Structure 1
Amino acid sequence: MDSTIDSFVHIPILIAAAAGLILFILLLLSKIRNTSKVSFVFYLAIGVSIAGLLYTYKNRQIMYLVVTFLLSEFLLIIYAFVLAVSDPKKRAQKKNQKEKEQNSDADAITKEAIEQIKEKYSDIISINRDLVTKAAGFFSSEDAMSAFLQYFDKLLLEKTGADGCAVLLYDEFDDVLAVKSLEGKFPPPYKLPEDLPHKPIRVETNFKFSQFAVSGNIFGDIFTAGKPVNIAEPNAKNSPVFQNEPEEFLKCGPYLFIPMQQDGENIALVCISRAAGQEPFTQDEMNDACTIVEAASTALRPLNSFIAFTEHAELTKEGDIATKFQKALLPEKMPVINKLSIGKYSMPAENVCGDYYDIIPSRKERITFIMGDVAGKGMNSLIIMAMIRAMFRLVSNTNKSSATLLEWVNRAICSEKNGMDHFASVSLINYNSIDNTAQVATSGTNPVLFYSAAEGTIKKISIDCEPIGVEKTTEYKDIDLTLNAGDILISCTDGVLECLNENGVQYSLNNLTNVIKANCKLSGKDIANKVKDSIKKFCGTTQQYDDQSLLVVKIQG
């Protein structure tokens, strides 16, 4: 017999190879989908058969086909023999033992993970319980928020081994971050004002009463991003920290910034620092700090509700009393003064009582105009207002400059240690009717505007500086003016410039100056009324939260 396969025989060989390949794929799919258990021997046998068929087709020698089938049968015979002589019970026991060992390892891992989770959440629950209990305990404190934040700061310093801690709360109305607590040594990580002396008490005081925009600075950018930031190397090239050296107490070390959230919204920024040269905060310390901040966020809910309730009740009661006294402190009628036309506009906000103005005609060469905006609300601001008013009335009838009068009052207010905030922005204008000159000095942010009739221009001449009550050594500057007929001096409080319309847009200095320029030919009283009408039209029925006060002094001749 000729060993060469006839030419037509290759067709069944290819069909057999294709069928074997299909069988191999089907068995492989059943293995992947875990629909049946197939021994690897079958895969091997089918693979050998397919290889033999293809090799036979290529070489046209039937001997290869016979050898292939013999090899496949040999593999299957060995597999069948093992199945025939082996004990199925022993196989099952061995399989069960292996599964038990695997399950035992899995159970051990699961128990360990559960214990770790229990320990973690036990610590969280303990911290939450502690902070909520402390917050409730501060309900009876005179300043519950300050007392709670002070405890919170100390807890963070203890748990993280930090040297300083500060909390900045978000003021949604003003859209700023305001410093509300400071504990330990916290070097400012931002550029200090150029005119601020590098003395520990001055730097600390400046920071305590600072406000920061929610963008464009290290605090605002991290707060807006809403994610914790661990700054290990403040001196790194791309570090957001600004070094205010060379003083030792200003050198910055590692920082940890953690935004505090409620209902997915950022409500505060917690800032922790270590002295320069200290080790950076570890990941565990950062996690501990985040846990404490989250717990504090929970504790602040009932505390904020309580504070809002008590403040409303106290302000309603105190506000009614303070409003009556505030009216008594303001001039009942505008005095008639030669060469001057005076106008005023005053709109107190409910329960605020922070603004006051005064006109003191001491003598012909000394007529004093005062516009004040006292920090705080209710009786606190009224008491400070009465003190400042009395002091100015006492010292105005002297030959001292306007700046000197401000400095005298500032030193007296700074000497008060009554526990109340005693800060005030004051603008003071001393007018000399004999030579038609004026001397202006300001503290804080109350603006003084000057309209020149000759030039037809209006500009702000006041200088923003520290308010009264911050630092007793603060020095103020005099601004001397020579006045002519038709010139106008205007001063107001920030309640005028910052009053809002229904879209949340502020009235602004630009609107005020436009109204004054458009009505510069009118009397001081009429100009003040025009400003009043403009503000009412701008704000509409939108509720305002700050007093509005304006003084207009027009030179008649």
Structure 2
Amino acid sequence: MTSIDSFISVPLFASAIFGLFILLSLLTLKIKGKTKPSFIFYITIAVLILGGIYSAISKKSIFFVFAIIISEFLIETFILFKSFDNPEKREAKRLAKAASEAGHSGDQDSVSASVIAELEEKHKRTLQVHNDFVNKVSTFFSSDNSMESFLEYCNGVLREKVLADGCIILIADDYDQVLAVKSFVGSFPPPYKLPDDLPHKPLRVETNLRFAQFQLSGNIFGDIFKEGKPVLIEDSVKDPRVYQNGPEDFLKTGSYIFAPIREEENVVGLIGLAKNPGESKFNKDDLDKVVDLADAISMTMNPLYSFLAYAEKTELNKGGSIASKYQKDLLPQKLPVIGKTSIGCFTNQAEGVCGDYYDILASRKDKVSFIMADVAGKGMNSLIVMIMIRAILRLAVNTAQSASTIMTWTNRGICGDTSKIDHFASVALINYNSTTKEAEISTCGNNPVFLFSAKDKTIKQISTPSEPLGVTKETVFEDIKLQLNSGDILAACTDGLLESLNENGVQYSSSSLSRIIIKNCNASAKEISNKVKDDLKKFCGVAQQYDDQSLLVIKIQ
């Protein structure tokens, strides 16, 4: 006889399916927003569904009974919670929390307003500092020492703003890769190691600092410059970067501030401020002030540099135009006719530069002097030195002295000049005897002389770089003696020709000059010089040149 338990799975599955429909109905109500059923109902229905399914599968109704008991417990717990719940009290707590959050937000708004006001005040002060520097720098444009005067003004402002005892400003020299002191005022105990042979006297130490140059590493100035960040040293005795030079009071170090001077993104200088020991130390506020002032100085120096560069270029162009006119008058207007030789030459003057000079002097029947000179400096400065060299050489070549002796006389005459202008020059002097075809050559500086041998069809430089004219009276010059033959070629040029650049930054070089001479060795000297001139023009293209280009060609016939 079949027991009723044999059919227990049917109602259990039916209850599970019915519970599933209830669960879906609750979810539908929640989604549509009709009501918000408690999560207790979801758990209860889920327990009943799982209990019914498991009991039907296992054929043991006991599991469904346990599912009903758990569901009843959950429902009863929910009912008890609702019985003791006070909606008004809960709403009051919610409102109190909202008010607290609103008050906190108000405090934050108040703090934000305070920060914004502080930032606005700081920016106003910074803007005022920049305006003061910009307005002040215009007064230095007409000064003879514009940059020095401006830096002294900056020193005064820096010391006043942070009550410093001393201030130093260093500017980088890109060519020599050093930091040079450009302005120094007050008391600034050296934070670097003084030379061992320097007496520890205030005046000697101050002089050493005033004219000092520092490498970009291995000392406190160079290291901070390289790092490019402001530095505050409150207690220098405890800072290993600061060197303690001695027990003397004026050498004892206190606190320091260092701040970089920038040109766009590049660091170009360094500001240093010092307070003596015993004074109140620098602090963070002082550092912030110095950084603001350093930024203002950086921005102001750029237009001042631009103005000085423009003024220098204008002065050079003006002086160069005048000097260029007179220089052309100094060059031979017509080449002399010399038996058994042909001569070719040219000069290309770069804008604002006029330092090249050549001359051909037939002093005697058996002697012709060829001169190629490159005077240091630009404009009127080089013209004055050029006139001095020209006058001395024109007198000296009329003697029977050797080329080296004539160069020695010229050098002593130039070195005797005590003016402040530079008086250096590279010179090549060629004394040629047209009767014996002998040449005597003496050179100084960087003007090369080349010899093409018609016999070997080779060309080589016969001169060597040496000390230029005008360095010291004791300079020793040498003679180079040559026996020339028909077809041989002597070529003297200035370094401006060999160092001419094309658009890719490649130099013309001696190899290009040699190639043209060898290729045209059967032509006259004039034709050879014209070929070199054309080749040089083609090589350089539209690239701007910064030095004169000069060539003198002598061919033995």
What band does the TM-score fall into relative to the shorter chain?
A: 0.5 to 0.7
SS in 2 for 1:78: helix
Q: Is the 8 A contact 1:425 1:446 kept in 2?
A: no
* Letter in structure 2 aligned against 1:454: K
Please give the alpha-carbon distance, in whole angstroms, between the structure 1 residues aligned to 2:363 and 2:302: 53
* Letter in structure 2 aligned against 1:135: V
The answer to whether the aligner puts 1:484 opposite 2:489 as a matched pair is no
Q: Is the 8 A contact 1:430 1:438 kept in 2?
A: yes
2:139 to 137, 140, 162: 137
Aligned to 1:458: 459
For the aligned residue pairs, the C-alpha RMSD in angstroms reads: 5.6
Q: Is the 8 A contact 1:145 1:303 kept in 2?
A: yes
The answer to whether the aligner puts 1:518 opposite 2:516 as a matched pair is no
Please give the alpha-carbon distance, in whole angstroms, between the structure 2 residues aligned to 1:385 and 1:407: 13
CA shift digits 1:205-257 (9 cap, x unpaired)? 9x99xxxxxxxx99xxxxxxxx974599xxxxxxxxxxxxxxxxxxxxxx998
Q: Is the 8 A contact 2:388 2:414 kept in 1?
A: no
Please give the alpha-carbon distance, in whole angstroms, between the structure 1 residues aligned to 2:474 and 2:40: 98
Aligned to 1:95: 98
Q: TM-score, normalised by structure 2?
A: 0.62
Structure 1 residues 361, 181: CA separation in 2 closer, same or farther (over 3 Å shift)?
Answer: farther
SS in 2 for 1:450: strand
Please give the alpha-carbon distance, in whole angstroms, between the structure 2 residues aligned to 1:361 and 1:181: 52
Please give the alpha-carbon distance, in whole angstroms, between the structure 2 residues aligned to 1:548 and 1:459: 20
Aligned to 2:180: 182
Please give the alpha-carbon distance, in whole angstroms, between the structure 1 residues aligned to 2:410 and 2:121: 62
Aligned to 1:167: 172
Please give the alpha-carbon distance, in whole angstroms, between the structure 2 residues aligned to 1:509 and 1:154: 54
Alignment of 1:438-457 (within 5 A): 438-443=440-445, 445-457=446-458
Alignment of 1:86-485 (within 5 A): 86=89, 88=91, 91-105=94-108, 107-108=110-111, 111-112=114-115, 115=118, 118-119=121-122, 121-122=123-124, 124-126=126-128, 128-142=130-144, 144=146, 165-168=170-173, 182-183=180-181, 229-230=227-228, 260-261=263-264, 270=268, 272=270, 295=296, 298-300=299-301, 302-303=303-304, 306-307=307-308, 310=311, 314-315=315-316, 317-337=318-338, 340-360=341-361, 367=369, 369-376=371-378, 378-393=379-394, 398-399=401-402, 400=404, 404=408, 408=412, 411-412=415-416, 415-417=418-420, 420=421, 422=422, 424-431=424-431, 433=433, 436-443=438-445, 445-464=446-465, 472=472, 478=478, 480=480, 482-485=482-485
* Letter in structure 2 aligned against 1:84: P
CA shift digits 1:56-92 (9 cap, x unpaired)? 4786434335534643673586378545241745642
CA shift digits 1:141-179 (9 cap, x unpaired)? 34646766787799999999997733357xxxxxxx688
CA shift digits 1:87-145 (9 cap, x unpaired)? 745642442233212431453256336525743x4564355335434532231134646
Q: Is the 8 A contact 2:140 2:149 kept in 1?
A: yes
Q: Is the 8 A contact 1:344 1:552 kept in 2?
A: yes
CA displacement at 1:272 relative to structure 2: 4.8
Q: Is the 8 A contact 2:375 2:424 kept in 1?
A: yes
Unaligned runs of 5+ in 2: 56-62, 183-189, 193-209, 218-224, 231-257, 273-282
SS in 1 for 2:332: coil
Please give the alpha-carbon distance, in whole angstroms, between the structure 2 residues aligned to 1:360 and 1:312: 35
Please give the alpha-carbon distance, in whole angstroms, between the structure 1 residues aligned to 2:406 and 2:293: 51
Please give the alpha-carbon distance, in whole angstroms, between the structure 1 residues aligned to 2:126 and 2:14: 81
Unaligned runs of 5+ in 1: 31-37, 170-176, 188-203, 209-216, 219-226, 233-254, 275-281
CA displacement at 1:289 relative to structure 2: 8.7
CA displacement at 1:357 relative to structure 2: 2.1
CA shift digits 1:283-305 (9 cap, x unpaired)? 99999898667545543554466
SS in 2 for 1:520: coil
CA shift digits 1:488-514 (9 cap, x unpaired)? 332323443455567776544443222
CA displacement at 1:526 relative to structure 2: 2.4
Aligned to 2:245: none
Please give the alpha-carbon distance, in whole angstroms, between the structure 1 residues aligned to 2:495 and 2:388: 21
Structure 1 residues 271, 348: CA separation in 2 closer, same or farther (over 3 Å shift)?
Answer: same
Structure 1 residues 513, 269: CA separation in 2 closer, same or farther (over 3 Å shift)?
Answer: farther
CA displacement at 1:476 relative to structure 2: 7.0
Structure 1 residues 91, 460: CA separation in 2 closer, same or farther (over 3 Å shift)?
Answer: same
Of all paired residues, the percent bearing the same amino acid is 32
Q: Specify the structure having the higher radius of gyration (Cα).
A: 2
SS in 2 for 1:552: strand
Structure 1 residues 85, 330: CA separation in 2 closer, same or farther (over 3 Å shift)?
Answer: same
Q: How many pairs are equivalent?
A: 466
